[in-house]
Structure 1
Amino acid sequence: MSKKVLLTDHPWPDVDIERGILEAAGYELVAGPIETPDAATVEAMVAEHDPIAIMTCWAQVSATAIARPATLKIVARLGVGLDNIVIPAATARGAWVTNVPDYCVQEVSDHAVALLLDLWRGITLFDRDVKAGNWNPAAARLHRVADMTVAVIGFGRIGAATARKLARGFGCRVLVTSPSLVAKHAVGHELEPGIFVTDIATLQREADGIVLTAPLTADNRHMVNDEFIASLQRTPIIVNISRGPLIDNDALVRGLEAGRVRAAGLDVIEGEPSPPASVTQRPDVVATPHIAFSSAAALAELRRRSTEDVVRALRGEQPLHPCNQPGESS
């Protein structure tokens, strides 16, 4: 049986953490590139090395890649979202799929708040202006953050942390929604001081800012589309720190141009790592390259915990963060 563990990609400069944990357990790490390879390259790496485990950060792990190893015990995502792994294929062949669901809650929620503050207080906008040689405080059209109503779509760990920081730290009125919240509570129910359950129609009427933290699914792909934007009443800022395809890029541009959306703060954009210039080059868009999760502490925790779960699976133990039940029929 193979003793190789394939790491498809790693957007950090070394693999010392992963290699140290795996070698101590008796396994060999085969590391792919820092840059994200395409699905065909991952499939070729799997065919070459016949790994017993696959670890992936951004790379797509296809059904073909999952089917190729003689024995495959686990496909581990170094991150939270699972849209780059064909989970049914892993489940069908008896392999675990894992993630690390809570390693970057503080970083991502901080980033969401930072993008809102940047856009409401004009930080990037006026920094660009000053660097261009202008000094024009009379041009400021800024906002008192405590007067803002912010909607958070998705109320998992990151959504909840974002809502609490805005309500407790800045005094915002925060509206939160998710399918499970709406099923359990009436619209208007106060979950915590300053945080209220809402639905999409209400937040479209009342929100000055909208933060997307929901996981990407087939049902919510392009949830921010022309129809969604047409119903916005308060010209809100839209912030996305979840997955790019939650927003239809062309619809967002149309909304910005029509004045239905005030500005956008985007850590994720459909089409990354080469997102469309029609979005990124706009002065009313502040974009960061999918780094909301990142801090030295978060990355070290992510790498250690993900690799430790791989070792558990290879020893025949249940991982701490399983995302499937191997062998179950779909």
Structure 2
Amino acid sequence: MTQPIAVFTDTEDLDPEPGARLLADAGFEVRVAGSRDPDVIAAASAGATALVVGYARLDAALLDRLPELRIVATMSAGHDMVDTAEARRRGLWVANLPDAATEDVAVHALAASLSLVRRLPQADAVVRSGGWSEDFTAAELPRRASDLTLGLVGLGRIARQFAALAAPVFGRVAAHDPHADRAGWPAGVERYDDLGDLAAASDVLSLHVPLTPGTRGMADAGLFARMRPGSFLVNVSRGGLVDAPALLDALGSGRLTGAALDVLPVEPPAADDPLRAHPRIQLSPHSAYLSDTSRRSYVRGPAENIVAWHRTGRPLTPVVDPTATRPAAPAASTTAPTEGAVA
């Protein structure tokens, strides 16, 4: 029997060794392309039956060059880098990692929210410039978190854990998720059926949905216009959820007081990207998913999906099931980075 081949496309700052070892122990020949370039991936993946994908775009043109491919495993809860419709048409499995960094992203979202509310970047800048408390309070005072409402757009795994962490800190926690089961709606989280109504009721609005054609640019001028004056935006999911020019306009007009972005429309951002220079935007380098624990999970998890498929015919957490008459339900509800290595 020909030895099956598994290829890691792009691993960025992750060490593929734990996942590669798991695959090798299961009988795979393991290769690491180490690139998002489709030509590099195609060359490294000749004869491959399995791909582990980070940020690399897997579209129809690249799939045409991989005729032996049978399964794609993403290193994230999000799977927008894979053309899932094309994968389904070709009979390919696609599997994701719904829970590799749930705690990490939820904690990051809470830390980012509280940093905005408590104005920690501004306080840091005052001290570093030689000032002290009177210089800090001369601008604007921080707000008390227990006086504020946290609004969650999407209520998947990460948002639910964020809600549990935030409940003792914020005065109210509310959410909008038309796909969430009403029977399983968490206690203590107020439900809003209209996204605009949630925005209007929230002091901190945090995004927790995958990037799809329907959600791309959802945080736009219309949504910002509904938000309370002086409110905050947090995004730890996907950069494409936010209309960047509209966000800059909302910050400039004072409609929003600040934003915390772990993800950007273009990553890494260009040197002249206005999001990088805005004093009211708190940035992190798509790192919400990172911890010593999740770093291992992001390379072992896809390998576990591939090994399970190899042994049983089915991965552990499929999002595209070519044997089903209908598309498989996503393993993670409406939560993404945004949620991981590509979260």
- Normalized against structure 2, the TM-score is what? 0.87
Q: 1:121 to 1:251 in 2, by over 3 A?
A: same
Specify every segment of 5 or more residues in structure 1 that has no aligned partner in the other structure, as ranges. Answer: none
Q: Secondary structure at the match of 1:21?
A: helix
Identity %: 29
**SS of residue matched to 2:166:** helix
Give the number of the structure with larger relative contact order, counting CA–CA contacts within 8 Å between residues 6 or more apart.
2
Counterpart mapping for 1:109-258 below 5 A: 109-135=106-132, 136-139=135-138, 140-167=140-167, 169-181=168-180, 184=182, 191-193=186-188, 195-198=189-192, 199-258=194-253
**Which residue of structure 2 aligns with residue 262 of structure 1?**
257
Give the AA of the match of 2:7: L
Q: Does the CA contact (< 8 Å) of 1:163 and 1:176 recur in 2?
A: no
Residue type matched to 1:312 in 2? A
Is the contact made by 1:2 and 1:52 (CA closer than 8 Å) also made in structure 2? no
Q: Counterpart of 1:170 in 2: which secondary structure? A: coil
Equivalent residue number for residue 277 of structure 2 = 281
What's the offset of the Cα at 1:255? Answer: 0.6
- 1:89 and 1:12 map into 2 onto residues whose CA distance is 29
Provide closer, same or farther for how the CA distance between residues 104 and 240 of structure 1 changes in structure 2, counting only shifts above 3 A.
Answer: same
Q: Relative to structure 1, is the Cα distance of residues 90 and 124 closer, same or farther in structure 2, using a 3 angstrom cutoff? A: same
Distance in 2, matches of 1:119 and 1:14, equals 33
8 Å Cα contact 1:18-1:29 kept in structure 2: no
Q: CA deviation at 1:68?
A: 2.2
| Counterpart residue type for residue 233 of structure 1 | R
Contact 1:73/1:313 (CA < 8 Å) preserved in 2?
no
Alpha carbons of 1:206 and 1:22: their partners in 2 closer, same or farther (altered >3 Å)?
same
Q: Distance in 2 between matches of 1:37 and 1:201?
A: 37
Structure 2 distance, partners of 1:73, 1:116, is 41
Deviation of residue 311 (structure 1)? Answer: 1.4
Aligned length: 320
**What is the CA distance between 1:54 and its match in structure 2?**
0.8
Tell me which residue corresponds to 2:91: 94
- The 3-state SS of whatever aligns with 1:315 is helix
Given that residues 117 and 142 in structure 2 are in contact (C-alpha distance below 8 angstroms), is that contact kept between their aligned partners in structure 1?
Answer: yes
Q: 1:236 Cα shift?
A: 1.1
Letter in 2 for 1:236: S
- CA drift of 1:191 comes to 4.3
- Of the candidates 55, 59, 63, which is equivalent to residue 58 of structure 1? 55
Q: What does residue 25 of structure 1 align with?
A: 26
Q: Matches of 2:156 and 2:9 in 1, distance apart?
A: 28
Query: SS where residue 31 of structure 2 aligns?
Result: strand
Check 1:191–1:18 CA distance in 2 against 1; reply closer, same or farther (3 A cut).
closer
Q: Match of 1:164, SS? A: helix
- Whether the aligned pair in 2 keeps the contact of 1:152 and 1:175 (CA below 8 Å) is yes
Structure 1: distance between partners of 2:268 and 2:21 = 30
**Secondary structure of residue in 2 paired with 1:101:** coil
Q: Secondary structure at the match of 1:289?
A: coil
Q: Are the aligned partners of 2:126 and 2:136 in contact in 1 as well (CA < 8 Å)?
A: no
Q: Tell me by how many angstroms 1:328 deviates.
A: 5.7
For the residues of structure 1 that align with 2:229 and 2:318, how far apart are their CA atoms?
41
Report Cα offsets for 1:134-173 as digits up to 9, x if no partner. Answer: 2224335101111110110000001111112111x31430
* Structure 1 residue 6: Cα displacement: 1.1
Deviation at 1:184, TM superposition (A): 4.2
Structure 2: 5+ residue runs without aligned partners?
Answer: 328-343
Judged with a 3 Å threshold, the aligned counterparts in structure 2 of structure 1 residues 212 and 231 are, in CA distance, closer, same or farther, namely same
Deviations along 1:85-126, whole A, 9 cap, x unmatched?
Answer: 011222222221001101111100101111111111111121
Are the equivalent residues in 1 in contact too, given 2:3–2:29 (CA < 8 A)? Answer: no
> SS of the residue aligned with 2:214?
coil
For residues 328 and 128 of structure 1, the distance between their equivalents in structure 2, rounded to whole angstroms, comes to 55
Runs of 4+ in 1 over 6 A off after TM superposition: none
Q: How does 1:10-21 map to 2 (within 5 A)?
A: 10-12=11-13, 14-21=15-22
Partners of 1:215 and 1:301 lie apart in 2 by: 20
Check whether the contact 2:257–2:280 (CA below 8 A) recurs between aligned residues: yes
Deviation at 1:2, TM superposition (A): 5.6
Kindly provide the amino acid, as one letter, of the partner of residue 12 in structure 2. P
Sort the Cα spacing of 1:249 and 1:38 in 2 relative to 1 into closer, same or farther, 3 A. farther
Are the aligned partners of 2:95 and 2:318 in contact in 1 as well (CA < 8 Å)?
A: yes
Contact 2:70 2:92 in 1 (8 A): yes
Q: Write the distance in 1 (CA, Å) between the matches of 2:48 and 2:3.
A: 6
Match of 1:305 among 276, 301, 307: 301
